[in-house]
Amino acid sequence: MEKFLELEGGYLFISFVILAVTLFVTTRPFMSKGALKKGMMWVSLVLAFFIGLHFKITTDRMSEVKSAFKEGKTIICESRALRKVAQSVDINKNRDWSLEGDIFTSPNYSRPFHTARCIVK
């Protein structure tokens, strides 16, 4: 559950805003009588489906990245620190990188990288 909230927290907040807008719109006088029930149900189902799908795809990619790193393959992670020069960092065991849980760290690099933001090269 902690991993779900860590990865999908932003999307959950956006979903609550969308549901609040749906609630506001469907309770207006110009809407039909069943609009509230139908609107909230369908919007909730669609949002839950897409958040669940995103979580599944992300966790599958994370496990693929972890296993590839353990096999010695190169991993590419996006670097948000330097947007103009190097937008990605190559991570490999041979370059003193280590994997601690879901985080890549290196004594030679100033910041860690989460496996959710990486792909196998």
Three-state SS sequence of the chain: CHHHHHHHHHHHHHHHHHHHHHHHHHCCCCCCCCHHHHHHHHHHHHHHHHHHHHHHHHHHHHHHHHHHHHCCCCEEEECCCCCCCCCEEEECHHHCCEEECCEEECCCCCCCEEHHHEEEC
pTM: 0.78
Flag whether pLDDT at 80 surpasses 80: no
pLDDT digits (tens, 9 = 90+) for 21-73: 999 998 888 888 888 899 999 999 999 999 999 999 988 999 999 999 888 88
Label residue 101 by pLDDT band (50, 70, 90): confident
> What is the structure's pLDDT at 77?
85
Kindly state the percentage of the chain with pLDDT values over 70. 93
